[in-house]
Amino acid sequence: MTGTPEREARATEPYLTADDEARAMARRLAAEARTGALATLDAADGLPLATRIGVAREAGGDMLMLLSDLSDHTKALGAHPAASILLGSVGKGDPLAQPRLTLRGEVLRIRPEAMDHAAARARYLARHPKAALYSDFADFGFYRLRIRSALLNGGFARAYRMERTDLYREVPADLLSRERAVIDHMNADHADSLQAMIHHQRGVAGEAWRIVALDPLGFEVQLGDDVVRLEFALPVETASGYRDAFVTLARATQDST
């Protein structure tokens, strides 16, 4: 007995077409991850090599990492820049039932003289402040995974193939330049409102969450080792639009009480 055409197609191609909900889930998994499993090809024998590394998501969507020149995975990337990173925290219950995201692309070093090195360093250290102790050592460097494609497993029967366009969004320079000022303003002047937004949208406890990263689609807050992402109602298109985005979130929070 054969199944329906839809079921037969599902058996041969198990992946769904990415939609806005899947893209938001992928952003959340990438943004909330503090570590990931980096898969490379060993420089000595070409065999697969998987190691755990610290990560931070850039405003556009690519992933940052701080690697030691002495590690095997850094040597592997020097020989074969193609790599992937598996992201996703394991909560209670069956780990294989938890959402996870595999990003695929090329990992390249961000040279100290590059124009974007300072921004990459600041963004990574905002997520991993303890790394400041060794981030400027001569044998350490910042690297970027430039995403080419991804696989998102959002749970049973919720697998998606994703392309760079699903995960990456070019951020204008004027928005990037406003990031630190907006973060500092919200953390210093609107801490109470920020906590209310976090509780409303994500339902997490705690009264000392602080914004550590910002982009046109949302922002990440951190409390200790916990990171949570919140999404704006609409994408921010101009530097002045960040104010409107936060006001909208605050009003939605107030309307719900």
* pLDDT for the residue numbered 89: 77
pLDDT at 4 over 70: no
pLDDT at 245 over 90: yes
Mean pLDDT for 210-221 is 97
Could you tell me how many residues make up the chain?
257
What contacts 106, CB < 8 A, 6 or more positions away?
81, 82, 83, 145, 146, 148
* pLDDT for the residue numbered 159: 94
Compute CA distances 169 → 50, 152, 237, whole Å.
28, 18, 12
What are the tens digits of pLDDT across the range 85-105? Answer: 999 977 777 878 789 999 999
Strands 15-17, 159-163: pairing is parallel
Compute CA distances 170 → 77, 107, 126, whole Å.
25, 18, 21
Compute CA distances 255 → 145, 200, 232, whole Å.
40, 10, 16
* pLDDT for the residue numbered 1: 43
The H-or-E segment that residue 126 falls in is helix 117-127
* pLDDT for the residue numbered 9: 47
What are the tens digits of pLDDT across the range 7-32? Answer: 444 455 688 999 999 999 999 999 99
Under the banding of pLDDT at 50, 70 and 90, the label for residue 3 is low
What are the tens digits of pLDDT across the range 166-207? Answer: 999 999 999 999 999 999 999 999 999 999 999 999 988 888
What are the tens digits of pLDDT across the range 106-155? Answer: 999 999 999 999 999 999 999 999 999 999 999 999 999 999 999 999 88
What are the tens digits of pLDDT across the range 162-173? Answer: 999 999 999 999
List of domains in the chain = 5-167 (2.30.110.10), 173-256 (3.20.180.10)
